[in-house]
Amino acid sequence: MKIIAQSLPNIPWEDRPSGSSELLWRYSKNPIIKRDEAKGSNSIFNSAVVPFNEKFAGVFRVDDRQRRMNIRRGFSEDGINWKIDDEPINFIQETKDPVESEYKYDPRVVFIEDRYWITWCNGYHGPTIGVGYTYDFEKFYQIENAFLPFNRNGVLFPRKINGKYAMLSRPSDNGHTPFGDIFYSESPDMVHWGVHRYVMGAGYTPWQSLKIGAGPVPIETEEGWLLFYHGVLLSCNGYVYSFGAALLDLDKPWKVIKRSKEYLLSPQMNYECVGDVPNVVFPVAALVDGSTGKLAIYYGGADTVVALAFGYVQEIVDWLKYEN
């Protein structure tokens, strides 16, 4: 099977532990970023990384000790050890009138054509999808919000589809939304979004029964777009966030080819179960080595730390197609 991704020989990696048959296995030195590794941070989690200049760059969700939510830039030689800025990213406004941004959280980053696009949950009279870009991780520009409030988990596809930019998102409410389905929208210019299509909803199997939301930028394969997504279950102790995967049609990504009945990762380790919000694994970024199909997923643990898990794209696609 062909994976449409650049080769990334320096992808962070650890082999599957001997005796394990897990499709995704955790990095043995998780969490890779602890809660206090940036200046004044209460927590660092749900963060996005990309290959950059033979190394890595990232946009990190850093909540400070006032518990203000914002995003900061970071760089890394190896994708594992990170140096995160002392201050939030200062976006240059590229709008008629500056877009309010009461808070920013849960960023995604993707390279399309000539620049790195960043989407995040932007506080504008409630959460909606903020959009910005950078060419060099030095200057950052903010454009219009993609949608009206309330919306979360805005995730761009890594290329135009049928000539249009494409984004998944999850309409929501102003609180700790007890519902949520994934929708698809397209845009000619990254500003005007429309032609909305329903992709898939909560339900299907218990781990994803309350709500779902797109995770990392979808990965292009011959068999379809491989999408990792989080799913939430309501227990007597509150929400439990796990994640699984789906395969979406390449030309019509709102058509779901396969969807995982089982989760791929659920909160089980201490750093996933104990923290500011217990029982959360929340995938936000994926690195892929196009030549070997190695996959490294960055996910937030318990809304407190950043962790890594590894796998092979091919194995997950085969599992979705034949075993699931």
**Which residues are near ligand BMA by CB under 6 A?**
46, 105-106, 241, 277, 280, 282, 300, 303
Q: How far is the CB of 139 from ligand BMA (least distance, A)?
A: 26
Cα–Cα nearest to 253, from 154, 171, 170, 166: 166
Q: How far is the CB of 302 from ligand BMA (least distance, A)?
A: 9
Residue 207 φ then ψ, to 5°: -65, -20
Q: How far is the CB of 126 from ligand BMA (least distance, A)?
A: 12
In whole angstroms, how far apart are CA 323 and each of 128, 251, 319?
36, 24, 5
Cα–Cα nearest to 292, from 23, 52, 10, 27: 10
Residue nearest to ligand BMA (CB): 277
Phi-psi region of 240 (alpha: psi -120 to 50; beta: other; left: phi over 0): beta
Q: How far is the CB of 276 from ligand BMA (least distance, A)?
A: 8
Residue type, 23: L
> Among residues 241 and 312, whose Cβ is nearest to ligand BMA?
241
> Among residues 285 and 320, whose Cβ is nearest to ligand BMA?
285
Using the 8-state DSSP alphabet, how is residue 161 labeled?
B
Q: How far is the CB of 100 from ligand BMA (least distance, A)?
A: 19
> Among residues 103 and 141, whose Cβ is nearest to ligand BMA?
103
C-alpha to C-alpha distance for 23 and 208, rounded to whole angstroms = 19
> Among residues 250 and 277, whose Cβ is nearest to ligand BMA?
277
> Among residues 220 and 272, whose Cβ is nearest to ligand BMA?
272
